[in-house]
Amino acid sequence: MIPNSAVENLERLGVSRESMTRLEVLVEVLLAWQARMNLISPSTVDDVWARHVVDSAQLLPLIHANTAGIADLGSGAGFPALVLAAIQPATVHMFESNAKKVAFLHEALRQMKINALVHRDRLESRVAPKSLPQVQLVTARAFAPLPLLLSYAEPFIESGATALFHKGQDVDAELAEAAKAWVITSQKHSSITDPQSVILEVKELRHVKRDPN
């Protein structure tokens, strides 16, 4: 059963009852698999709805209406990818290199009865833009420090996508470090689940021009 506080937050975000049913299936599958492999931090299991589901769903108001494709980098336990796939119509592409986590993602999709694409790839192998799906949004949560994350997201952003990254209290330090290599047009949105966290929206990205001298 979904906790009342989570229901209230999900309803506030415009999530339908049908979608909530799919999210209940996701949590059931997640907890069953968590018993035999570490998908989420054990300290968050008892608060999975707030810490993972609502935390993922809070991206919804930031997703543009014309978004037909989403690339989720380092999908792992499926947050935010599976949550977004359960709620909205865009095609979600999940990139995950760990075979056991890929198996989990496929099983979750099967039981949730939703369609999404799982790519068992290391993102480093997808350097050629032509090999990437056409998407309008890139997401990532608890995946990599921002400088590395931007290098993975660059081909998508270069093709016109916007990025929405979950980031914690060190976001300003990460932005400062990333600025050594990147010129970034970004905006921070307050998280509804953690006052110390933000959703970092990256709208434009380009390499810093090096002085040849």
Query: pTM of the full predicted structure?
Result: 0.94
Among 8, 28, 10, 30, which residue's Cα sits nearest to residue 19?
10
Instruction: Write down the domain spans for the chain.
Output: 4-207
Between CA 123 and CA 162 the distance in angstroms is 18
Which helix (H) or strand (E) segment holds residue 73: the answer is strand 69-73
C-alpha atoms less than 13 angstroms from C-alpha of 78 in its C-beta half-sphere: 30
pLDDT bin (cut points 50, 70, 90) of residue 33 is very high
Among 116, 146, 113, 109, which residue's Cα sits nearest to residue 133?
116
Average pLDDT, the chain: 94
- Given the candidates 3.40.50.150, 3.40.30.10, 1.10.760.10, 3.30.499.10, the CATH classification of the domain at 4-207 is 3.40.50.150
C-alpha atoms less than 13 angstroms from C-alpha of 59 in its C-beta half-sphere: 33
Q: For residue 69, how many other CB atoms are within 10 A of its CB? A: 17
Average pLDDT of span 12-39 = 97
Distances in whole angstroms, Cα of residue 40 to Cα of each of 53, 131, 172? 12, 30, 25
DSSP 44: G
Instruction: Read off the pLDDT of residues 55-91 as tens digits, 9 standing for 90 and up.
Output: 999 999 999 999 999 999 999 999 999 999 999 999 9
